[in-house]
Structure 1
Amino acid sequence: MDRSRIIELLARKMAGEANSSELEELASLISRYPDSVYYEELLGQLWQESPVENEHDTDDLYQKHLQKYAADFNPDLLLPEIYPDEEPSGKKSYKAFATIAICLVALSSLLYLTKSTAAKTDTQIVAGKGVRKNVRLPDGTMVWLNSDSKLSYSRQIARQKKRIVHLQGEAFFDVAHRDHQPFIVKTDRMSVKVLGTAFNVKDYAVENSSEATLLRGSIELSVNERAQQKILLNPSEKFALVDGQGKKGGNSPHSTDMTMTIAHVLPVTIGDEQYIEETSWKDNTLVFKNETLEELKPRLERWFNVKIHIESARAGSYRFTGAFKKEEITEAMTAMQLIKPFTFNLKEHDLIIY
């Protein structure tokens, strides 16, 4: 195992026991695995913090450490081959090997525990502009990912004590219920914790507002800058966080000038149909109610994968209520022209509104 060999060689180098061929091998391994410098830093700290008073104390300390952590990690990481069959010449060499043993046991334990408990994000799902995706996570949770969004999580999420995912953009979650394994959604601005429920989270970096909408079950959420303040939502409630400093893309996302509100979610009636505006997108329907064209701009850009330029302040102030399902951008703009007078010109992925 390359990782184990790197740890062994680093320890031998620190003890002054590595020969020239081992040093060359170590250099080659480090060049292949640049992140192994982490092991070197950590091993150095353990080395400095592991003083050796005498042979008996060192050997006893190693045995106690081994007994304490033996059940917590792969025995292969103990690297028994570094311990010589014959007694080393000189007390200094014995102490060096004993200290290495202590460092390796502690480091191996730490690496194993970190691997088994850390919420590493080794998998990422991306939905580009104009694209929406539906995926099932390894724990059975269903996720709908909206346009221009990313979801990161660990492939081992089903085995984690806390099932943690990281979201950029917007997603709807139908969480598989698991007792004692809370499901946590983290964004740049807030954290949402549940056991099993259905809810929507929206947090785009370029917008100054973030939302969490609950449809079923219950959720506990907190704002990252006010982590101690817990907010509980009931079904059909929406939490909104608005940054008074403006768009996050142009200002610090850690502003203290924030407004938090909780409102009841009401269906929007358009024609003969009713929609939940906050979650209709997962059913491939873009719903908007009494919004100005300027307010709609970022949603339209993501939905249709275009860049919109509004060159008329009057057109930007027009308000619209409607729902788009299978329409192309030109069809959508033509339909909106029937409600308010404006002109538009589409050139590739640029839409200019006059």
Structure 2
Amino acid sequence: MEKETINWLQLVKYLNNPQDTALEQQVRQWAAASPENEATLLQVQQLWQLSPDLKILDQLDTKNAIARLQEALPEDETVHHLPARRYHWFRVAAVIIPIVAAASWFFYHSGTVTYKEKATLAAIDSLLLPDQSRVYLDKNSRVRYPERMQKNRTVIMEQGTAYFDVATQTATPFVVKIGQSSITVLGTTFNIHLENYRIGVTVKTGKIRFASGHTNAPETILSAGEGLHFDPATGSLEQYNAINSNADAWITHELVFVDAPLSEVCKKVEALYQVKINLRGKIPVKKLNATFKNNKLEEVLEVLQATYPITVVHRNREITITGR
């Protein structure tokens, strides 16, 4: 991408249509070509995040704005003679006005999609999407979604963990994008965990199609009770039986175990109840088959003690389980 006026429109299209992987790759390659390009892309992204609140766009005469900028720019392209403050103003104006002009043209002539953002900090929250799908966000999670979803049902997963309960709508598939990867569904419930760019997906009901975004990599179909781990850095993908993963327990408050070893049970109990469990002595080999739904921690420990030859000591947030 060379620095031409049309490329501001390409950047606007990229920000407004993140599911266009070909355009995304083109922009990323251009940004990686030089530190200047990377800095420009960052400026555009920051301005774009503020753009929904800029009511001035409704009255902006973009043609005259660009004309005034061209008149203000010096004929001599040498910049070291300009005062620092004036040069800084030119740089800011040169970035902002083409973006505003492109955004104004793009919004009013292309009928493009406007994305909104939902983020959580220290508490779990939920979001009802315009298509009546519901997204549950764990702590420190963030997604972007279309303001209207009649023709576009693409949600951008940017951070954290989210549980999706997708409304069935056969006409338009529901898509979740995570970086270069994507998940396509028609109606299902599934969980996504994003950590250090690594993606974890488990399906509770229905079926999804996972596309890693890597060249020549086949798509993966996951049904209920299946999961996968994908590392974009290496391209490695691991598919597994997710019946005992309980990845969505943070929102469902349900633990399901099918022939699960005690060590695995303890890890899931630790994660859900935010405690530390120490296993000592002879660990029983017997597998657990049980379902806990909205149970108190003490109730879960009582079931474990009745099932296995163990003693359980519970002090504050630490539990010691000793095999007999």
Query: After TM superposition, is the score higher than 0.5?
Result: yes
Alignment of 1:32-43 (within 5 A): 38=40
Contact 2:284–2:308 (CA under 8 A) maintained in structure 1: no
Superposition deviation, residue 119 in structure 1? 7.3
| Match in the other structure for 1:173 | 165
Aligned-partner SS, 1:343: strand
Contact 1:188 1:203 in 2 (8 A): no
**Structure with max Cα Rg:** 1
How far did 1:76 drift?
A: 0.7
Cα distance in structure 1, aligned partners of 2:203 and 2:129: 20
- The AA in structure 1 aligned to 2:60 is D
- In the TM superposition, 1:26-65 aligns within 5 A as 38=40
1:82–1:202 CA distance, 2 compared to 1 (3 A): closer
Cα deviation 1:226-270 (Å, max 9, x = unaligned): 67422345xx54543257xxxxxxxx7634554335x7x99x9xx
Shift of 1:279: 7.2
**After superposition, where does 1:1-354 map in structure 2 within 5 Å?**
38=40, 74=58, 76=60, 78=62, 80=64, 92=75, 106-112=98-104, 113=106, 122-125=117-120, 135-144=127-136, 150-154=141-145, 156=147, 158=149, 161-166=152-157, 168-175=160-167, 177=169, 179-180=171-172, 182-187=173-178, 190-194=181-185, 196-203=186-193, 205=195, 210-213=200-203, 215-216=205-206, 219-225=208-214, 228-233=217-222, 236-242=223-229, 254-260=233-239, 284-306=253-275, 308-312=276-280, 314-315=282-283, 319-354=287-322
Q: Any idea what the Cα deviations from partners look like across 1:10-63, whole Å, max 9, x if unmatched?
A: xxxxxxxxxxxxxxxxxxxxxxxxxxx859977xxxxxxxxxxxxxxxxxxxxx
Q: Which amino acid aligns with 1:326?
A: N
Distance 1:211 1:297, change over 3 A: farther
Q: Structure 1 92/148 Cα, relative in aligned 2: closer, same or farther at 3 Å?
A: closer
Partner of 2:21: none
* 1:315 counterpart SS class: coil
Structure 2: gaps (5+ residues): 1-38, 45-56, 77-89
* Root mean square deviation, CA, Å: 4.9
Given that residues 289 and 322 in structure 1 are in contact (C-alpha distance below 8 angstroms), is that contact kept between their aligned partners in structure 2? Answer: yes
Normalised by the length of structure 2, the TM-score is 0.56
| Alpha-carbon distance in 2 for matches of 1:82, 1:280 | 54
CA contact (8 A) 1:149 1:170 kept: no
In 2, Cα distance between equivalents of 1:82 and 1:348: 66
* 1:109-140 Cα distance to aligned partner (Å, 9 max, x none): 43444998577562124685xx7x65422331
Shift of 1:333: 0.7
CA distance in 2, matches of 1:337, 1:289: 18
Judge conservation of contact 1:140–1:176 (CA < 8 Å) in 2: no
Alpha-carbon distance in 2 for matches of 1:205, 1:285 = 22
Distance 1:299 1:82, change over 3 A: same
Give me the whole-angstrom Cα distance separating, in 2, the residues matched to 1:81 and 1:209.
44
* 2:60 alignment partner, SS class: helix
Question: What count of residue pairs does the alignment treat as equivalent?
Answer: 250
* Matched residue type, 1:161: N
Change (3 A) 1:118 1:227: farther
**Structure 1 residues 114 and 340, CA, compared in 2 at 3 Å: closer, same or farther?**
farther
Residue 141 of structure 1 deviates from its aligned partner by 0.8
After superposition, the C-alpha distances for 1:153-209 in whole angstroms (9 at most, x for unaligned) are 2362537735213163351422352734x4222457952113x31131343649x98
